[in-house]
Structure 1
């Protein structure tokens, strides 16, 4: 009753504004960035997620604050909130849910987001590619966590993970093929929580991997929290290649009996190195195709 009373008082105080500018609020698009959020249970921290709204100033509340807490965020030193920080508060390793209500203060329009807190059942490594080049741009690897039904968790912010290089059974030597980088060692900006973890000498749910020499390497990750010691580690196999190509690298058309000289070049950190000539290729037909 107290919360409803406060909301009604806020609406009453803003009624003159609404009457003066009705078209402004009728045209506003009141929206949330997501309809549902899945957060992991953790005994070591409250995993956060930022819920965003648009089209007005909002007040927020959770139907079960003991399961999911909601904290308004204010930008640019204003009293208008269009974002809220959600954090899982559940104290037991089980599935719980809460509803987050977002109320447009002026119009009373109500938005809803369902938040579920559950236990992580398995993890996977997500990669944009499985091939990296020696001494080239690093590759970012991220962890995706799933519940027992295969649903993907919305956030793993702040959780610690143990990343390592494992042995590939097809390779006699696997040391020195790749190196796990911290973002502070590279020219890339990670989320703030990754920066905080690296300062504490820990790894989060994403890392960078750099190729050192050719071969195949296995990257392994597991959740470091004791709650999830029985969750199997995730693996990904990466192939480290030399960034070698022919010059010219485009299609070549020659007359019968003609020939062309090719060069082989290697790209290292954006620079061409190691140019040298390869044997001459004679055209036995009117078309020569070069990969």
Structure 2
């Protein structure tokens, strides 16, 4: 995965942590939500990830008039064959880039639910399996931006992690102007691995050992989100499973065959923050969800390694 990281970094300057999180989500068989203001490289990261792997990539531009059938596909009557044939939608790819997902209506957003959870699409009573590996990399603008719809809780819960790109440092922005001012970095990016290799790595990550004490630590963190008065909606049981899978991938990227409590703590913010809702008192006190999750993690005793 070091080659994939290097390929993406040739396009995205100075964003090692978001890139590493994207690779963790890929190896954990999850989906990634990129949330930030326009112009900071969200779509560029998603496209660079897809292009660095020699597998199919499709981009769906979410707009208010986008229909669910544009995502899943539709059955069209063939005059010559006198039968209906299925026309696949944008979700039929290994890497699906959902650009500005929260600009589409909730009905259209929900068209992704089945494919993200079950890796399949059902249209007119027929189920179509999606090719593996399958990953949705969705970008969204902050909810206070004009023309956005909030993602439903069930939709957010399907994403393994949510990350923010943030503005680049001064030096990174200068490097971007120097290297990318006259050429398209995506046009020069070449695949450095293939789908078969990624599938092999995904299977290897599943074998990373997780000690019972680490599992108890993970569950204790998730349980604490349901008990803290700062949150009116705690993390779901699905989030426990996603945090476990992501922790395995995080350990594997670090070159270890076991998960440590540090892996769990490092990913708790990215995996849990978009699945919870702050209480009214926390909002009035201007406590961000990320700060609340950090406090929760610090409150849970760390087991002996």
The interval holding the TM-score normalised by the smaller chain is: under 0.3
TM-score normalised by structure 2 residue count = 0.22
Q: Greater helix percent: which structure? A: 2
Query: Structure with the greater relative contact order (CA < 8 A, sep ≥ 6): 1 or 2?
Result: 2
Larger Rg: 1
